[in-house]
């Protein structure tokens, strides 16, 4: 394909993109002359160039469209719904021919006669507008009107198609339009006939000035530049290390440092594109879908100017389209249903993009019927995605995230019932592939919000460098939720086993572990994990949580991702490689792939849940989790369900009403229980920090001053010797009898009651 | 007399090929220099756990991470400790590195001296070698970069 054709294809695509945007806007403002002019120009440019390049089929179609658009632009026709549908079809027709040209170099053999005929039909105003058929009118038309006829036709000539005459025009035109068009119509005939040539030329000066300040650059060239910049960064790091002790070079190397950083930023910026590039495709999808589904939908778009790396933009196009479809299909109800529910019959679909630190947040929200959480729960249990006991414990938000699980999308029956979830796993897979995260938020009857967090760029990602089998590996920070250090002294007891499966109790829940060294070197001698430091990186991928055990941690680094050859990608554990600051190469681990390889799947999770349940069953029938705190050298427990938050604050913030300590907490007065004397001890010391556990008690909140927060543990019930009567106020925590804080006993404000409740009852009598 | 005969033959239908000679154990190998992008001396590739055995590891090459193929492993020889030389080769599938013990001088050979793989070679070697050139005092085994491409090797293994 020659340069000219390629240029033509790019320009035409851009023109059609513009046309698409304008068309959807036109539906709201059918009289907007500017929009019509824009659309006309797009098609006209295609027609003009195509004739020059000899693409006859394209020219014919574009020509038919141009004639119709000419009439629209001159206000002889009104852009109503069917008209816009026709124009969208014209656009699709042009697109498909362009696509064929792009792939084959020729226009292909397709036949557009039907579409052309439809476009021509539309040029005839419907009978309601004109008393007589335009064809008949034309015959009667006085020659004097020829000059006032739409100029396009005089240029395209020789066509037999008939235009409504000026005598009709005033009848057809909306009054607002006619004034805008007056000057043009007043132009002398000679000029008018030239207009099709000059008219499209009008925007050219603008286009030229834009062309002067911008340049089309091949993406591969940008990629190459990105690579080279990465290389430069690396070289810089080494130069900085080497010149650290030479004062003469320090200044120079610092300059190098700055220039490199600037350069990196500039190249990255060159790859950025506004999200409007993909948002602009949505109005069309919304329009088509809402028509075919019988919905009435208003689309709101926010933050179009937010920029994102080009490759990422491409990657989120599909998930975004999917989400929009979902919202229309399953979210927003039919107008009647909405009306019956007391909502605006027109639903709202909101697309929002915003930058948040090093991420871009993209939200798709609707005000539809939302997701029925109970049905999700029910289906999840039915399909064996989660165990029943577990489902009962999951919070609503956690349950909602289940729609992203693969099991949820495959069966149509599930989709119909749950109301959502068509290929939601595909959405998540696509978003996670580019290091993003996706979550869903929904309120029954109110609507659903799908949130995607996308990193700004793919090329450079934050990663934690870990060590295993004597090598460094990079672990993307996106998947990492926390780190746990298990020193050798505790390794044997902290890591528990069910047969061959290592597990760790993370805040009372069993976390499946994967030893990275065993995974990577399955046949090597197993070094005893109990003799060394173990670090557990708690990872989340594909909705599974697991701990990756590594030998050591190094600093987090911003790494430049380099692709791996296909052979190494096939191993399935590595998503790329990178060069570290010390010039060492490191493979980038793929958390999802590791989970899969190690067999940490939903099945495993269920097994773990069952095992957990079994474990608990042997202890007691009903277990409550407690926050274990220390107050004045004694341990006490607070039911975890009642804990809202834990605040560390300067002791000076505690105020007193009489002798009762209170805290002005977010504008509300919080009574504080201080039977352990923690506050009293801190009083007077301006530097002292105190810890306040904020709890819920009935309808009020109370604070409890503690010395330390120790742990979270499941408590066991205690039975008084010789009876089956459960003791109250005490529980068995970590094999120790521990008093439970009686929140109800914390005196209410402002009625001051004497006698601090004795909540810390450490009972020795039971043992 | 024999040399003139060869020369005449050359002029008729034989082309001269420049080969980079490579030593590995006792054998002298040759790689056509037209396929060599660069020679990287004494490199220490980073091993890749779980990779196929013939993968010699990764090296950092001009801003990219290059996969290397270990000729020793391919031929079933014990891996060599210490740094090795790398030929950066270009094949249809992209670039890759070939790990060899040491790189020697460039030899000009004539295609007239080329002979196909002898039948007594084992199957694995027959698949890797592209015949041999008869030098005055010894043989130069020709390596075809296309056949050493890691992608192709993995397909061959899978088949």
Say if residue A664's pLDDT is above 60: yes
What's the pLDDT at A379? 77
Across the interface, whether the CB atoms of B64 and A574 are under 8 A apart is answered no
User: Are residues A551 and A695 located together in one domain of the fold?
Assistant: no
Sequence-distant (≥ 6) Cβ neighbours of residue A235 within 8 angstroms: none
Query: Using only C-alpha atoms, what is the Rg of chain B?
Result: 16
Q: Express as a percent the part of chain A with pLDDT over 70.
A: 74
How far apart, in Å, are the Cα atoms of A290 and each of A63, A347, A368?
Answer: 30, 10, 13
Overall average pLDDT of the A545-556 stretch: 87
Question: What residues of chain B lie within 8 A of the CB of A524, using their CB?
Answer: none
The rounded distance, in Å, linking the Cα atoms of B32 and B131 is 13
Question: What residues of chain A lie within 8 A of the CB of B50, using their CB?
Answer: 520, 571, 573
Q: Is residue A757 part of a domain?
A: no
Question: What residues of chain A lie within 8 A of the CB of B46, using their CB?
Answer: 471, 584-587
Any idea where the domains of chain B sit in the sequence? 2-149
What's the pLDDT at A529? 66
Of B49, B52, B65, which has the smallest distance from its Cβ to A521's Cβ?
B49
Q: Express as a percent the part of chain B with pLDDT over 90.
A: 11
Overall average pLDDT of the A126-143 stretch: 43
What's the pLDDT at A671? 82
How far apart, in Å, are the Cα atoms of A479 and each of A403, A412, A609?
Answer: 19, 30, 22
Across the interface, whether the CB atoms of B55 and A567 are under 8 A apart is answered yes
Q: How far is CA A717 from the centre of its chain?
A: 44
Overall average pLDDT of the A647-673 stretch: 79
As a whole number of Å, the end-to-end CA separation of chain B is 49
Q: Which residue has the higher pLDDT, A661 or A752?
A: A661
Long-range contacts of A375-381 (CB under 8 A, 24+ apart): A375/A417, A375/A418, A375/A419, A376/A400, A376/A402, A376/A403, A376/A418, A379/A408, A379/A414, A379/A417, A379/A418, A380/A405, A380/A408
Q: Express as a percent the part of chain A with pLDDT over 90.
A: 3
Q: Tokens 């008869």 label which residue?
A: B134
Say if residue A139's pLDDT is above 70: no
Top-ranked range on mean pLDDT: pick from A155-159, A199-203, A630-634: A630-634
Question: What residues of chain A lie within 8 A of the CB of B150, using their CB?
Answer: 565-567
Of A567, A585, A587, which has the smallest distance from its Cβ to B60's Cβ?
A585
What's the pLDDT at A186? 40
Q: Are A148 and A166 a contacting pair, CB within 8 Å?
A: yes
CATH number of residue A631's parent domain: 2.40.50.180
What's the pLDDT at A466? 93
Say if residue A30's pLDDT is above 90: no
If pLDDT is split at 50, 70 and 90, which confidence band does A730 have? Answer: low
The rounded distance, in Å, linking the Cα atoms of A65 and A69 is 6
A203-219 pLDDT, tens digit per residue, is: 444 444 555 677 878 88
Query: Exposed (0-12), middle (13-18) or buried (19+): which is A622, by Cβ within 10 Å?
Result: exposed
- Give the closest-approach CA distance of A467 to chain B in angstroms: 13
- The first and second tokens of residue B20, run together, are 């980079």
User: Are residues A15 and A163 located together in one domain of the fold?
Assistant: yes
Number of domains in chain A: 5
Sequence-distant (≥ 6) Cβ neighbours of residue A162 within 8 angstroms: A124, A134, A135, A137, A138
Which domain range does residue A439 map to? 276-455
| Interface with chain B: mutation pick from A565, A566, A571, A583, highest number of B CBs within 10 Å | A565
What's the pLDDT at A351? 92
Q: Is residue A462 part of a domain?
A: no
Sequence-distant (≥ 6) Cβ neighbours of residue A538 within 8 angstroms: A480, A481, A482, A483, A484, A506, A511, A545, A546, A547
What's the pLDDT at B88? 92
User: Are residues A245 and A343 located together in one domain of the fold?
Assistant: no
Name A696's bridge partners. A701
Question: What residues of chain A lie within 8 A of the CB of B67, using their CB?
Answer: 564-565, 567-568
User: Are residues A47 and A182 located together in one domain of the fold?
Assistant: yes
- Residue A230 near chain B (CB below 8 Å): yes
Report which of A647, A629, A656, A655 is spatially closest to residue A712, judged by C-alpha positions: A629
Say if residue A184's pLDDT is above 80: no
The rounded distance, in Å, linking the Cα atoms of A497 and A499 is 6
Of B60, B93, B151, which has the smallest distance from its Cβ to A579's Cβ?
B60
Q: Are A463 and A556 a contacting pair, CB within 8 Å?
A: yes
Q: Which of A472-486, A616-630, B68-82 has the lowest mean pLDDT?
A: A616-630
SS3 state at A483: strand
The reply to whether ipTM tops 0.90 is no
Query: Exposed (0-12), middle (13-18) or buried (19+): which is A187, by Cβ within 10 Å?
Result: middle
Overall average pLDDT of the A489-518 stretch: 83
| Interface with chain A: mutation pick from B43, B44, B45, B50, highest number of A CBs within 10 Å | B50
Report which of A396, A349, A340, A342 is spatially closest to residue A368, judged by C-alpha positions: A349
Say if residue A228's pLDDT is above 90: no
Instruction: Write the Ramachandran bin of A575: left for phi over 0, alpha for psi from -120 to 50, otherwise beta.
Output: alpha
User: Are residues A409 and A520 located together in one domain of the fold?
Assistant: no
0.80 surpassed by pTM: no
- The first and second tokens of residue A276, run together, are 């409007």
Strands B94-100 and B64-70: parallel
| Interface with chain A: mutation pick from B44, B47, B58, highest number of A CBs within 10 Å | B58
Q: Average pLDDT over chain B, rounded to whole? A: 82
Name A482's bridge partners. A538
In A, residues 10-69, which contact B (CB 8 Å cutoff)? none
Say if residue A473's pLDDT is above 90: yes
- The first and second tokens of residue A440, run together, are 């869903």
Q: Tokens 């002019």 label which residue?
A: A37
If pLDDT is split at 50, 70 and 90, which confidence band does A50 have? Answer: confident
User: Are residues A385 and A292 located together in one domain of the fold?
Assistant: yes
What's the pLDDT at A524? 62
Query: Exposed (0-12), middle (13-18) or buried (19+): which is A721, by Cβ within 10 Å?
Result: exposed
If pLDDT is split at 50, 70 and 90, which confidence band does A148 have? Answer: very low
Report which of A259, A359, A263 is spatially closest to residue A309, judged by C-alpha positions: A359
What's the pLDDT at B120? 87
Give exposure, B99-136, as e/b (b: 16+ Cβ within 10 Å). bbeebeeebebbebbbeebeeeeeeeeeebbbebbeee
Say if residue A80's pLDDT is above 90: no
Overall average pLDDT of the A631-651 stretch: 79
Q: Which residue has the higher pLDDT, A472 or A700?
A: A472
Say if residue B1's pLDDT is above 60: no
A506-535 pLDDT, tens digit per residue, is: 887 888 888 888 888 877 655 566 677 889
- Residue A565 near chain B (CB below 8 Å): yes
The rounded distance, in Å, linking the Cα atoms of B138 and B104 is 15
Across the interface, whether the CB atoms of A571 and B48 are under 8 A apart is answered yes
- The first and second tokens of residue A460, run together, are 């450079």
Q: Express as a percent the part of chain B with pLDDT over 70.
A: 89
Q: Is residue A191 part of a domain?
A: yes
Say if residue A733's pLDDT is above 70: no
CATH number of residue A377's parent domain: 3.30.565.10
Across the interface, whether the CB atoms of A227 and B63 are under 8 A apart is answered yes
Q: Average pLDDT over chain A, rounded to whole? A: 73
Q: Which residue has the higher pLDDT, B158 or A229?
A: A229
Q: Which residue has the higher pLDDT, A446 or A527?
A: A446
Q: Is residue A532 part of a domain?
A: yes
What's the pLDDT at A171? 42
Across the interface, whether the CB atoms of A571 and B62 are under 8 A apart is answered no
Name A362's bridge partners. A353, A452
Q: Are B74 and B148 a contacting pair, CB within 8 Å?
A: yes
Report which of A586, A525, A524 is spatially closest to residue A576, judged by C-alpha positions: A586
Chain B residue with minimum CA distance to A565: B67
- The first and second tokens of residue A627, run together, are 């926050």
What's the pLDDT at A400? 78
CATH number of residue A181's parent domain: 1.20.120.160
> Which run of H or E residues covers position A625?
strand A624-631
If pLDDT is split at 50, 70 and 90, which confidence band does A20 have? Answer: confident
Overall average pLDDT of the A694-705 stretch: 80
A410-439 pLDDT, tens digit per residue, is: 444 434 333 444 567 778 888 877 778 888
Q: Which residue has the higher pLDDT, A176 or A514?
A: A514
Report which of B22, B12, B4 is spatially closest to residue B107, judged by C-alpha positions: B22
How many other CB atoms are there within 10 angstroms of residue A408's CB atom?
A: 23
What's the pLDDT at A587? 92
Across the interface, whether the CB atoms of B154 and A562 are under 8 A apart is answered no
Q: Is residue A765 part of a domain?
A: no
Name A663's bridge partners. A654, A670
What's the pLDDT at A421? 45
A672-689 pLDDT, tens digit per residue, is: 887 777 777 777 676 777
Across the interface, whether the CB atoms of B63 and A228 are under 8 A apart is answered yes
Across the interface, whether the CB atoms of A571 and B60 are under 8 A apart is answered no
What's the pLDDT at A610? 45
User: Are residues A156 and A198 located together in one domain of the fold?
Assistant: yes
Binning chain A into helix, strand and coil, the percentages to the nearest 5 are 45, 25, 30
Q: Are A304 and A276 a contacting pair, CB within 8 Å?
A: yes
Sequence-distant (≥ 6) Cβ neighbours of residue A558 within 8 angstroms: A460, A461, A462, A463
If pLDDT is split at 50, 70 and 90, which confidence band does A614 have? Answer: very low
Identify the CATH number of the domain defined by range B2-149: 2.40.50.180
Answer positive or negative: Cα dihedral of B27, B30, B36, B38. positive
The rounded distance, in Å, linking the Cα atoms of A570 and B77 is 25
């Amino acid at each position: 394909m020659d340069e000219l054709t390629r240029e033509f294809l790019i320009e035409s695509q851009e023109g059609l993109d513009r046309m698409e945007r304008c068309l959807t806007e036109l539906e709201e403002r059918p009289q907007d002359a500017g929009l019509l002019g824009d659309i006309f120009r797009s098609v006209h440019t295609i027609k003009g160039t195509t004739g020059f390049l000899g693409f006859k089929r394209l020219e014919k179609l574009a020509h038919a469209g141009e004639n119709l658009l000419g009439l629209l632009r001159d206000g002889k026709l009104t852009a109503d719904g069917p008209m816009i549908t026709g124009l969208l079809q014209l656009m699709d027709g042009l697109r498909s021919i362009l696509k064929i040209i792009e792939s084959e170099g020729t226009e292909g053999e397709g036949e557009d006669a039907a579409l052309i005929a439809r476009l021509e039909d539309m040029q005839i105003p419907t009978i309601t507008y004109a008393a007589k058929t335009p064809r008949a009118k034309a015959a009667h038309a006085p020659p004097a009107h020829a000059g006032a006829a739409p100029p396009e036709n005089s240029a395209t000539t020789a066509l037999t198609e008939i235009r409504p005459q000026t005598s009709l025009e005033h009848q057809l035109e909306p009054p607002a339009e006619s004034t805008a068009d007056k000057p043009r119509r007043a132009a002398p005939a000679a000029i008018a006939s030239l207009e099709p040539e000059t008219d499209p030329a009008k925007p050219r000066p603008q286009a030229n000035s834009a062309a002067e300040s911008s340049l089309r650059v091949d993406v591969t060239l940008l990629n190459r530049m990105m690579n080279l910049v990465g290389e430069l960064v690396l070289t810089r790091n080494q130069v900085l290390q080497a010149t650290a002790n030479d004062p003469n070079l320090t200044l120079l190397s610092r300059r190098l440092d700055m220039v490199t950083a600037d350069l990196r930023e500039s190249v990255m910026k060159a790859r950025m594109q506004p999200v409007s590039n993909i948002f602009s495709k949505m109005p069309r999808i919304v329009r088509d879908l809402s028509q075919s589904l019988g919905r009435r939908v208003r689309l709101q778009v926010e933050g179009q100017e937010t920029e994102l790396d080009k490759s990422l933009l491409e990657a989120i196009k599909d998930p975004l389209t999917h989400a929009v479809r979902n919202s229309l299909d399953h979210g927003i109800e039919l107008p009647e249903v909405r009306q019956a529910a007391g909502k605006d019959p027109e639903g709202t679909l909101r697309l929002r993009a915003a930058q948040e630190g090093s991420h871009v947040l993209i939200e798709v929200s609707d005000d539809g019927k939302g997701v029925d959480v109970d049905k999700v729960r029910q289906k999840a249990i039915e399909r064996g995605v989660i165990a029943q006991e577990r489902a009962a414990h999951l919070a609503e938000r956690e349950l909602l995230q289940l729609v992203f699980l693969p099991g949820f999308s495959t069966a149509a029956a599930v989709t119909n019932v749950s109301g959502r979830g068509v290929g939601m796993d595909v959405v998540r897979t696509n978003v996670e592939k580019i290091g993003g995260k996706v979550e869903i938020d929904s309120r029954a009857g109110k609507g659903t919000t799908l949130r995607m967090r996308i990193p700004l760029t793919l090329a450079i990602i934050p990663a934690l460098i870990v060590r295993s089998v004597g090598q460094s590996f990079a672990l993307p920070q996106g998947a990492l939720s926390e780190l746990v250090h298990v020193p050798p002294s505790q390794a044997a007891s902290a890591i528990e086993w069910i047969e061959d499966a290592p597990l760790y109790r993370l805040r009372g829940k069993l976390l499946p572990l994967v030893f990275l060294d065993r995974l990577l070197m399955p046949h090597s001698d197993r070094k005893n994990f109990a003799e060394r430091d173990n670090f557990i990186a708690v990872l989340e991928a594909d909705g599974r949580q697991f701990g990756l055990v590594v030998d050591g941690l190094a600093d987090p680094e911003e790494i430049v991702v380099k692709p791996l050859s296909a052979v190494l990608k096939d191993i399935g554990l590595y998503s790329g490689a990178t060069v570290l600051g010390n010039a060492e190469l490191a493979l980038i681990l793929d958390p999802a792939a590791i989970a899969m390889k190690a067999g940490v799947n939903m099945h495993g999770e269920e097994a773990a849940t069952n095992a957990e349940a079994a474990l608990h069953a042997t202890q007691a029938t009903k277990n409550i989790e407690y926050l274990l705190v220390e107050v004045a050298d004694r341990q006490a427990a607070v039911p975890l369900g009642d804990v809202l938050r834990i605040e560390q604050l300067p002791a000076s913030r505690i105020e007193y009403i009489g002798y009762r300590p209170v805290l002005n907490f977010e504008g509300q007065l919080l009574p504080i229980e201080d039977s352990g004397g923690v506050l009293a001890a801190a009083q007077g010391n301006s530097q002292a920090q105190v810890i306040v556990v904020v709890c819920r008690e009935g309808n009020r909140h109370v604070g409890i001053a503690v010395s330390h927060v120790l742990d979270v543990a499941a408590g066991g019930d205690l039975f008084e010797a010789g009876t089956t009567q459960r003791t109250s106020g005490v529980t068995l925590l970590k094999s120790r009898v521990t008093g439970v804080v009686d929140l109800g006993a914390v005196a209410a404000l402002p009625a001051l009651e004497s006698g601090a409740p004795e909540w810390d009852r450490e009972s020795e009598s039971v043992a | 007399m024999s040399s003139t005969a060869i020369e005449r033959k050359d002029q008729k239908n034989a082309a001269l090929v420049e080969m980079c000679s490579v030593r590995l154990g006792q054998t002298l190998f040759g790689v056509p220099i037209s396929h060599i992008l660069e020679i990287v001396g004494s490199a220490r590739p980073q091993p890749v756990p779980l990779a196929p055995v013939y993968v010699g590891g990764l090296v950092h090459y001009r801003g990219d991470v290059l996969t290397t193929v270990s000729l020793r492993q391919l031929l079933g020889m014990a891996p060599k400790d210490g740094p090795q030389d790398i030929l950066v080769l270009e094949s249809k599938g992209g670039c890759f590195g070939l790990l060899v013990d040491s790189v020697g001088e460039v030899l000009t050979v004539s295609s007239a001296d080329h002979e196909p793989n002898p039948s007594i070679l084992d199957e694995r070697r027959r698949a890797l070698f592209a015949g041999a050139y008869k030098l005055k005092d010894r043989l130069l085994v020709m390596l075809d970069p296309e056949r050493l491409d890691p992608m192709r090797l993995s397909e061959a293994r899978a088949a």
